[in-house]
Structure 1
């Protein structure tokens, strides 16, 4: 990791959801992780390597109202609580995050832990945290922005903001399948600079 004497030390958690160690998302993850200042404290949640179980279920011993106490994901809740800055790295599939990441949100960002209601108004409980979302997809950028205006934005607008996590920075590599190596290198260079600015 690089040195950055001007920054205030942060507790950073990288939440990574991609199953291929040789893919471009893996390159993004490696680039970001190695360019975060060594002054910061970094933990990684690699959902696929953890073999994380994304299935949310309710029964007599796992009641929906008690999800914030679920022992199976207690360790993940503790890591999220510890963090002051969350970095999400994942591809966009079918217009949204991978199922394993959605299941992470479903089970970990539970009512009573990540948010609560005052009347009908949701109130975030994970305040004083910031986040950075890095995604890739194969859709042309103009189509994603104009035709599918919620494309890849659910995590920022309908999850993190609701939980009190703000501001959130988003970087997206669009039309990935058809980009040239030069464009990919340029994106990784940008990720390098952004990681070093944390």
Structure 2
């Protein structure tokens, strides 16, 4: 039987063009999440998120978990039981604004800690769904073993205790015909409706 329990869902969106395909992905996912769920959107470009991590004699690295500039984002991540990341792959990895979000928000003491040399995730009982696009042929991605969203999945979410439950990517986007793009959005629609 389908799980009818309401979830707290945070959509973390990193794309600057309102008319691009990633915008269509975001709209498709957001409108197909069942209304019983509670959804909060973090649109990093719309928020003008400042991605530069800094620490000095006054702002200590060990105190990043208390950084008041990103407190609102930590609260949303804490609140959410399911996180959805939507972003394009640029230069083999996530956009700088999203990497900066991870650097500043997923800080030690908030998202993880160490027991000896072993990292322990502090964001347990949360799941994650990653949706990416890129212009690289999928065979090249497999052969070259670049990031292409895997770092977020394996080295960030898992390390922080978040269980990645789905990973969708559209490769070679600039050469995809409308039919393929539509099929991808339909796949995301079905996935969003099943949350």
Tell me which interval the TM-score lies in, with the shorter structure as reference length.
over 0.9
2:7 corresponds to: 10
Gaps of 5+ in 1: none
Q: Deviations over 1:28-68 (max 9, x none)?
A: 00000000000000000000000000000112221101000
- 1:148 is displaced (CA, Å) by 2.2
What is the DSSP-based 3-state SS (H/G/I as helix, E as strand, rest coil) of the residue aligned with 1:22?
coil
Gaps of 5+ in 2: none
The aligned length equals 194
Matched, 1:119 2:131: no
1:80 corresponds to: 77
TM-score by length of 2: 0.97
Matched, 1:23 2:7: no
- In angstroms, what is the RMSD of aligned CA positions? 1.0
Q: How far apart, CA to CA, are the structure 1 residues paired with 2:147 and 2:45?
A: 25
TM-score by length of 1: 0.96
What is the DSSP-based 3-state SS (H/G/I as helix, E as strand, rest coil) of the residue aligned with 1:88?
strand
Matched, 1:92 2:89: yes
Over 6 Å off, 4+ runs:
none
Q: How far apart, CA to CA, are the structure 1 residues paired with 2:11 and 2:94?
A: 15
1:47 corresponds to: 44
2:150 corresponds to: 153
- 1:169 is displaced (CA, Å) by 1.1
